A and B are shown apart, each in its own frame.
Chain A
Amino acid sequence: MKMSPKARQRFLSVMSVVALFLIWELVCRAFGISDLVLPKPGQVIKVLIERLPALMPHATQTLFTTTVGFALGVLAGIVIGVVIGSSKLAYDVAYPLLVGFSSIPKVAVVPIFVVWFGAGTVPAILTSMVISVFPVVVNVATGLATTEPELEDVLRALGATKRDILWNVGLPRTMPYLFASLKIAITLAFVGTVLSETVAANRGIGNVMMIASGNFDVALVFAGLFILAILGVALYAIFSFIELKVTGWAQRKTEFAMV
């Protein structure tokens, strides 16, 4: 059978997931592992399908919270990144602050948000926002700071303003960096949402998993994990696709490799 390298790559990705499930199932059966410790994937999928109507609103809630938090985080990240990346002074002043900020475990900020805004959607949105800001800031700032000085000279001698340069060179050049950070940020945003939902919410997948584990319904906990994984992969795939469309120029090497 002959396959294009791309189809082959897809096929292998799918096969690796199937293989993982198969091995998992086999290990559970072979060693007689209790469902309370590690449920078989078949069972998890069964629970997932049976409980889907009840899980859907929670999945939607988590998805909504994550996307809003992510969107706000990215917006803030771009603004901060542009400011830091286009001024040496801002870069030097703000960088230590950012590093310190990003080193704070995000678990620690959830209680603060809960005190400020009460339990529910708001702290979840804020947590996922806070957690997804940093990679965006760093990547945008790096992209801007690496503009070739000679090109900048060419443009400045033409009378270009800082804004002209940012608009025509800085931002487009930053696109590949931005998209790379978006793919990291979206998975982190899920982490933030679920974290907050586990601690302080009455809806969302994080909350479902919390309650299920209290009831020793381990299969349901895993069903929640599956949903998170599926949502994560779906959003990741969406951004990869947009990335390919927007920054194809930065990926010419893979194009060549495919021929």
Chain B
Amino acid sequence: MAAYIELDNVSLRYPGGDVLALDATDMAIGEGDFVAIVGPSGCGKSTILKLVSGLIHATTGNVSVGQREVRGPSKGVGMAFQNPTMLPWLTIRENVMLPLKIVEPFRHEYAAKKKTEFAERAEALLKKVGLAGFGDKRPWQLSGGMLQRASLCRALIHEPRLLLLDEPFGALDQFTREELWSIMQSLWMDGKPTVILVTHDLREACYLGTRIYMMSARPGRILEIRDVDFARPRTLQMTFAPEFTALVQHLRMQIADSRGTVVEAA
């Protein structure tokens, strides 16, 4: 069985870095999976996303996506970060449509369809994340949470097969964050892209993930893989169920343990 995304014994040392950022990591992610990666700060979570999207190359080992070895920057992978990075000279709708200017086959038809089909598509997506009617606004007229919603739309507008999210909800308040979990879940259930979500929030990982990869402190290694099989769509109520809190608790202890070993080793 060949997985959609495979990391085979991958290590990474940044140029000039003295310690490995990532050490002998194996991952196998099936198509359409929603994978969450959790782990202490600096353990190489963002590094994994960069490796998968081909922005950096593994020092040793192999990374492949769709049975093809990743050699250079990928094409058409959706990404969103903690910082929404909207372009201030464009409207929210134009910002959301940015990937269509770049990714084929949309790029081709951009001039012809930007006012019609593509604009409608952006509006529809904005509506799903609760930003109906904000398409003509400029980024500075929106709050941080609203910008983050727009950033999700930008990552999804071209219907990517692969979506890489690096702490996209990290800077938001609890209420907005929980609301966006549910929006994110339904966006994923709509199109079933493969998602890798990096997060610090264990409840977030358990709510959204079908599988959780837990990493050790630097140099990063996979400590544990947990399948999460709560029924979908998951609700906020479910996060208070005993099974759910037990899982969160378990992960929390694991992270504390891995930190403990680091402290002892030092």
Contacts and interface: CB of A to CB of B under 8 A. Distances in A.
A98 interface: no
Interface range for B: 20 to 34
Contacts of A247: 89
Contacts of B5: none
Nearest to B86: A151
Given A156-B73, A159-B73, A172 B89 contact: yes
Contact of B74 (A157, A164, A173, A252): A157
Nearest to A176: B89
A158 B99 contact: yes
Given A159-B102, A159-B103, A252-B140, A154 B87 contact: no
A160 B54 CA distance: 13
A169 B77 contact: no
A75 interface: no
Contacts of B78: 157-158
Contacts of A158: 75-79, 99, 102-103, 158
Interface string A130-174: 000000000000000000101101111111100010001100110
Interface in A169-195: 169, 172-173, 175
Interface in B129-150: 138, 140
Interface residues of A, number: 21
Interface string A243-254: 000010110100
A158 B53 CA distance: 9
Contact of B85 (A154, A168, A172, A250): A154
Most chain B CB within 10 A, of A148, A151, A252, is at: A151
A128 B194 CA distance: 58
Given A148-B83, A168-B101, A252-B140, A157 B77 contact: yes
B94 to A, nearest CB: 10
A250 to B, nearest CB: 7
Contact of B164 (A157, A164, A172, A252): A157
Nearest to A167: B101
Nearest to A250: B88
A154 B76 contact: no
A160 B78 CA distance: 12
A250 B154 CA distance: 22
13 contacts: A148-B85, A155-B98, A157-B53, A157-B55, A157-B73, A157-B74, A157-B77, A158-B102, A158-B158, A159-B76, A169-B87, A173-B87, A175-B89
The 3 closest A-B pairs by CB, nearest first: A159-B75, A151-B85, A157-B53
Interface of A: 148, 150-151, 153-160, 164, 168-169, 172-173, 175, 247, 249-250, 252
Given A150-B85, A153-B53, 15 more contacts: A154-B80, A154-B85, A154-B155, A156-B53, A157-B55, A158-B75, A158-B77, A159-B75, A160-B102, A168-B98, A168-B101, A169-B87, A172-B87, A173-B89, A249-B88
